C-alpha cells in the first residue's frame, strides 16, 4: 500500500501529470461519444455491430499514441533518466522500485479501464442504436479493458526500462509500431501468413483476432474463448521477468555533484 500511495501522490502532485489527468478524463470520453454518434449516422449498424465497434474504439484509443504510451513511456522514462531512480533505490531497493512501477502500470490500467466503461455507457446512451446496456456487457468489457491495458502498459514499461529515456523510448515505440504493421501486412499480402506472434500484435490479440488494430478484427476472449489469453499473458510475464533480471544487473546512471 505504501508503494501505491507513492505512485498516486506523484501523479497528483506533479503539475504536468495533473493537467494530463484532467485532459485525458475529459477528452477521451468526449472523443468517443462524438465518434460513436457519427458512426451511427454514417452507417446502418445493428446493436451487436455497434457494441463491437465501440468496444474496439475504446481499447484502441486508450492504447493509441496520445494516451497510454504517454503515461507509461514518458513518466517512467523521466524517472529513469533524471536521477529519481537513484534516490529511490538508495532509500529502498531495486526490487521495491520495480514493484512500484508494476503497481503504477496497474493503477494507470485501472484508471483507463474505469474511464473506458464510463465512455462505453455514455457513448451507448447518446447514440441512436443502443437501447439498453446490461451489467454483464459492462463486466466483460471491463475485464477485457483491464487485462489488455495492463498487458500493453507492462510491455511499454519493459521497453522504457531498456532504453532509460522517455524521448528515445517514444521514438522507438513509434518506429516499432509502424514497422510491425508493415511487416504484418506484407507477410499477409504476399505469403498469406499472419504474423500475430509479433510482440505488439500478440498483446493486441487480447482484443483483436489477429493483432491488427482494425474494428473488423475485434473480439472479446471472455465471450467464450478464455484460453485465447494464455499466450499473450505468458509472453508479458516472461518479458516482465526478463526486464526485472536485466534491471538488477544494470548499473544506474550516476548522479552529478
Mapped onto helix, strand or coil, the DSSP state of residue 218 is strand
CA distances, 73 to each of 2, 101, 159, 177 (Å): 23, 11, 8, 14
Give the per-residue pLDDT at 131: 58
The reported pLDDT for the residue numbered 253 is 67
Give the start-to-end residue ranges of the domains of the chain: 2-249
Whether the pTM exceeds 0.85: the reply is yes
**Sign for the pseudo-dihedral over CA of 180, 185, 186, 190:** positive
The more confident residue out of 111 and 131 is: 111
Q: How much is the pLDDT for 40?
A: 67
Of 42 and 52, the one with more pLDDT:
52
Q: What is the pLDDT of residues 163-188, one digit of tens each?
A: 999 999 999 999 999 999 999 999 99
* Grid coordinates given for 100: 512500484
Report the distance separating Cα 207 and Cα 49, nearest Å: 15
- What's the pLDDT band for 257 if we cut at 50, 70, 90? very low
CB within 8 A of 64, min separation 6: which ones?
none
Query: Mean per-residue pLDDT for 127-145?
Result: 82
Amino acid at each position: 500500500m505504501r508503494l501505491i500511495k507513492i505512485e498516486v501522490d506523484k501523479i497528483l502532485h506533479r503539475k504536468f501529470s495533473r493537467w494530463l489527468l484532467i485532459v485525458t478524463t475529459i477528452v477521451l470520453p468526449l472523443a468517443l461519444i462524438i465518434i460513436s454518434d457519427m458512426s451511427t449516422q454514417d452507417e446502418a449498424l445493428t446493436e451487436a455491430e455497434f457494441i463491437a465497434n465501440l468496444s474496439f474504439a475504446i481499447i484502441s484509443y486508450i492504447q493509441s499514441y496520445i494516451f497510454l504510451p504517454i503515461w507509461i513511456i514518458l513518466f517512467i522514462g523521466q524517472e529513469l533518466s533524471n536521477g529519481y531512480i537513484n534516490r529511490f533505490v538508495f532509500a529502498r531497493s531495486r526490487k521495491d522500485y520495480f514493484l512500484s512501477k508494476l503497481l503504477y502500470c496497474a493503477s494507470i490500467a485501472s484508471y483507463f479501464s474505469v474511464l473506458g466503461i464510463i465512455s462505453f455507457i455514455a457513448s451507448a446512451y447518446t447514440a441512436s442504436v443502443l437501447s439498453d446496456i446490461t451489467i454483464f456487457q459492462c463486466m466483460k468489457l471491463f475485464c477485457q479493458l483491464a487485462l489488455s491495458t495492463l498487458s500493453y502498459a507492462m510491455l511499454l514499461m519493459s521497453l522504457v526500462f531498456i532504453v532509460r529515456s522517455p524521448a528515445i523510448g517514444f521514438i522507438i515505440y513509434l518506429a516499432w509500431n509502424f514497422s510491425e504493421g508493415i511487416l504484418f501486412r506484407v507477410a499477409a499480402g504476399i505469403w498469406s501468413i499472419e504474423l500475430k506472434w509479433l510482440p505488439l500484435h500478440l498483446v493486441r490479440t487480447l482484443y483483436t483476432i489477429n493483432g491488427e488494430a482494425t474494428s473488423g478484427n475485434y473480439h472479446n476472449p471472455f465471450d467464450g474463448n478464455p484460453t485465447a489469453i494464455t499466450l499473450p499473458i505468458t509472453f508479458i510475464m516472461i518479458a516482465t521477468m526478463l526486464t526485472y533480471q536485466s534491471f538488477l544487473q544494470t548499473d544506474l546512471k550516476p548522479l552529478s555533484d
